[in-house]
Amino acid sequence: MPNWILGDKFSSVYPHKGSIENLWETRWKFACQKGVYPFHDGSYEDFEPIFQKLILENINDAYTDEYTSTFLPFASELESNASKALDAGETENAIDLFRRAAVVYRISRFPYVDITQPDSTKRTAFERQKQVYLESASRWDPPIEEVTIPHTHRIGNDGPDIPIYIRMPSNATPDSPVPVIFLMTGLDGYRPDNSQRTHEITARGWAAVIAEIPGTADSPADPADPDAPDRLWNSIFAYIASNPSLDINQVVLWGLSAGGFYAIRAAHTHGSLLRGAIAHGAGSHYFLDQEWLSRVDDHEYPFRITPGWAKKYGYDNIQQFTQEARKKFSLVETGIVDRPSCRLLLLNGVNDGITPIEDSLILFNHGSPKEGRFFEGLPHMGYPDSLPIAYKWLEELLHAGPREKN
């Protein structure tokens, strides 16, 4: 076992754990006021009464229907007001209200939408979130579009279709195809939760393609099959290659949190198709260690994370997940990271209590040389300092010119 760089915090119970009041007052209220994770594009005025109700009713577990149901009337009211504004010809106001409603739905279905429960309250909230989000985002300039593509490489328990979001800059044409930033989402952040990244990406003249990772949201990949993501990306790369406005020779992955695991994997399994990859807040090996998993629910994640994590990897039983997942999925134990890879940038906070910084450091001892930037004193993802580094790296990579065509 490593001597965890997290130090004494590894065995600490963070003060917000188990208390919605402490979470709101010490962490989420500030995040909501600043419009940062997980409240991107949200409004403090929308959330203050919701959390006061949760506190009053002593609802502390986000996995419950009671938690999710508390948000739904507030989101529905915003949605209704947005529709009225649209009918009145107040398009910009409607766009804003639909966006705000989508963020309320987003927090209501936090932290995980169980793919095995299609009739759950959280699934209902997620379906509403997607609808109102596209009511807003489809009216942006440039718009976000949902595209459903066939999972042409599916086998076994994989589903038949892959829903993705795509946002094309105005300069994208068949005569002048643009680079693609392929966003791989996380455990709790899905396709409608990446507006700010798509703003930044399209402003630079690149296209954004967003897909959900196995075991989450609408992903058709078999969560229990370690090779399922490889087939998923094959189908998505086939779609990118078929779109004449997208440059298949200039594709860069950006894996977010749990998606960072898949960015690392794809950098090694699909490296010949990529200009590069960013693994942001990524796990690779130790995040599935039994000792780490025994304490991760006590750390910075807003609620318990192991119930969602176990489901995401195809386990109904947390104990079984804890005992078996590392051997089955670790990118180190399975030898994935000993293969050659494309350029791979690792970003994280040194004080990450969700995916240990050791999971980035261990990669420097395997396979191709890696690049990394880690932020002292910052938690999971290394926000806000990591974002400027990511964009600068992408700019330098893509401005260097396209890689040679296959």
The whole-number mean pLDDT for each consecutive block of 10 residues of the chain, a chain of 406 residues, reads: 89 95 96 91 95 97 96 97 97 97 97 91 97 98 97 97 97 96 97 96 97 97 97 98 97 98 98 97 97 97 96 96 97 97 98 97 96 97 96 92 50
| 3-class DSSP string for 37-75 | CCCCCCCHHHHHHHHHHHHHCCCCCCCCHHHHHHHHHHH
Residue 399: what pLDDT?
83
Domains of the chain: 7-139 (no CATH), 142-400 (3.40.50.1820)
Integer Cα distance of 293 and 337 in angstroms: 22
User: How many CA atoms within 13 Å lie on the side-chain side of 16?
Assistant: 16
Q: Catalytic positions, please?
A: 257, 352, 380
Say what angle helices 91-108 and 65-87 make with each other, to 10 degrees. 170
Integer Cα distance of 88 and 97 in angstroms: 14
pLDDT digits (tens, 9 = 90+) for 348-392: 999 999 999 999 999 999 999 999 999 999 999 999 999 999 999
Residue 1: what pLDDT?
60
Residue 403: what pLDDT?
54
User: How many CA atoms within 13 Å lie on the side-chain side of 147?
Assistant: 18
Integer Cα distance of 390 and 345 in angstroms: 8
Q: Which two tokens stand for residue 334?
A: 């399975």
Q: What is the DSSP letter of 76?
A: H
User: Do 213 and 185 contact (CB within 8 A), yes or no?
Assistant: yes
Task: Tell me how far apart the terminal alpha carbons of the chain are, to the nearest angstrom.
Answer: 42
Other Cβ atoms within 10 Å of 105 Cβ, number: 30
Integer Cα distance of 20 and 356 in angstroms: 25
Residue 2: what pLDDT?
73
Q: 369 CB contacts (<8 Å, ≥6 apart)? A: none
pLDDT digits (tens, 9 = 90+) for 163-185: 999 999 999 999 999 999 999 99
Q: Which two tokens stand for residue 312?
A: 């995401």
Integer Cα distance of 190 and 319 in angstroms: 26
